[in-house]
Structure 1
């Protein structure tokens, strides 16, 4: 018996248990999906709004030709997407 066989057996057992739970209907329901959808939305929206607010303040305080609002808007969206990706991968890992 090789060292990889117990890993394969454990993976097969997890998949079989997940399949049985899905057939019994004990898995996550529609409300979990809506909650996850909301979490992803807030995970992107909050950093974006913070970036816009900070950028608008910097534009008023510093001025100049560079648009801090636009730069921090894009930074907030990028940070929010990374944040949402983190939560989605965390939840998908919990399914395994």
Structure 2
């Protein structure tokens, strides 16, 4: 067997070993896990955004000013939601730094 064939065989063996270890440890990611994570990230961003819009609309009616509370709290809600989503993804992927 030539060196190039040996390298290919070694690479296949390493991939097979990693797959077996993932299955044994229960950390194999499935399609449904991905869909669940997709939904979690969506809700993690949507909820703070909608709460910011609702609070901003109420503040615009209760205390009108020179700037839009709705727009300001919309942006704040999106930023908070993105941080929240990042935290959840980091936690689920095992990158707890």
Deviations 1:37-86 (A, max 9, x none): 00000000000000000000000000011100000000000000000000
Instruction: Give the aligned partner of residue 38 of structure 2.
Output: 37
Can you give the 5+ residue segments of structure 1 that lack an aligned partner in the other structure? 1-15
- Larger Cα Rg: Structure 1 or Structure 2? 2
**Paired positions, count:** 79
> Which deviates more, 16-25 or 35-44?
16-25
Deviations 1:2-61 (A, max 9, x none): xxxxxxxxxxxxxx9753244789712100100000000000000000000000000000
CA RMSD between the two structures:
2.5
Instruction: Give the aligned partner of residue 20 of structure 1.
Output: 20
Q: Distance in 1 between matches of 2:69 and 2:86?
A: 25
Q: Distance in 1 between matches of 2:81 and 2:74?
A: 10
TM-score, scaled relative to structure 1: 0.72
Secondary structure of the structure 2 residue equivalent to 1:89: helix
Are 2:58 and 1:52 aligned?
Answer: no
Q: Distance in 2 between matches of 1:33 and 1:73?
A: 27
Are 2:84 and 1:92 aligned?
Answer: no
Can you give the 5+ residue segments of structure 2 that lack an aligned partner in the other structure? 1-15
